[in-house]
Amino acid sequence: MIPSQLITSKDNPLLQRLRKLAGDPSAYRKLGEIWVEGDHLCSACVQRGAHVPLAVVAESAWTGLDGRAQAGDTVAARLSALACEADRVVVVPDLLWRQFTSLESPARLGFVLSTQGITPGVLPGVATVVLDRLQDAGNVGTILRTASALGVRQVVALKGTAALWSPKVLRAGMGAHWGLHLVEQATVDDLQALQVPLVATSSHADHELSRAPLPSPCAWVLGHEGQGVSDELMARCAMTVSIPQPGGEESLNVAVAASICLYESLRRQIT
């Protein structure tokens, strides 16, 4: 068991930072740290080979604290094992943990990661999703998860999109973040570096999705939940496609539309 530090003061600088990271979706951009909470996300970090400088674990889940084992508590043993993947472990009393958790049911384990290297440049020539000012963290996280599952290499978020590494997007992404090349705060001009055609959905489209001559690779452009893709960005798209909706609904949820489009791109490649 690696050495651990016990923190019992709510005014400790680390706990103050954790409260900001858990409560402010974009705080990581200022603080240079990301708060990853819960055993599922922490496991995803480890499995994808992410470097973990610090683990924070609740006292009730730390089996190595002063040699006091949680008899029969297999969850605590698993959380402790995950914590030991970090360079350093901090243990906090459970009552303090509840002051900075972003979950209704405290997960008792979190990682603090560095933001260094998480805002890389755009990769050229790879399958990409472009997010144009999407506001809903659940939609953004779901799209990241779908993109990772369907073999998309990169997601580029334009300025105005929900913060990709916020707690809510991380939870909705379910670990997909560490399987993607993520670019934040991009501009429309930055998309020139993609070097692949841009394809957007539109009710006034060039083609129906199932019959569209989709380029491969391409960059699927997904727009604001209410306003859609901006006129400036739409003008740069090589193609627009429509998704048939015989049921008569006016539009689809953007994350659902993304799933349909990304699956169609994948289907073309494997059939």
Q: What letter would DSSP give residue 175?
A: T
Per-residue pLDDT, 72: 54
Per-residue pLDDT, 92: 95
Paired tokens of 154: 């990169």
Virtual torsion, Cα 200, 128, 164, 201, nearest 10 deg: 10
Over residues 230-236, the mean pLDDT reads: 96
**Helix, strand, coil percent content, the chain, rounded in steps of 5:** 35, 20, 40
Predicted structure pTM score: 0.92
Is residue 11 over pLDDT 70?
Answer: yes
Chain position carrying tokens 């993609």:
194
Is residue 68 over pLDDT 70?
Answer: no
- 109-114/88-92 β-pairing: unpaired
Q: What letter would DSSP give residue 224?
A: B
Contact 260, 149 (CB under 8 A): no
Indicate the range of 149-158, 192-201, 244-253 predicted with least confidence: 244-253
Per-residue pLDDT, 69: 46
More confident of the two residues 243 and 250: 243
Domains of the chain, CATH where assigned = 4-114 (3.30.1330.30), 128-270 (3.40.1280.10)
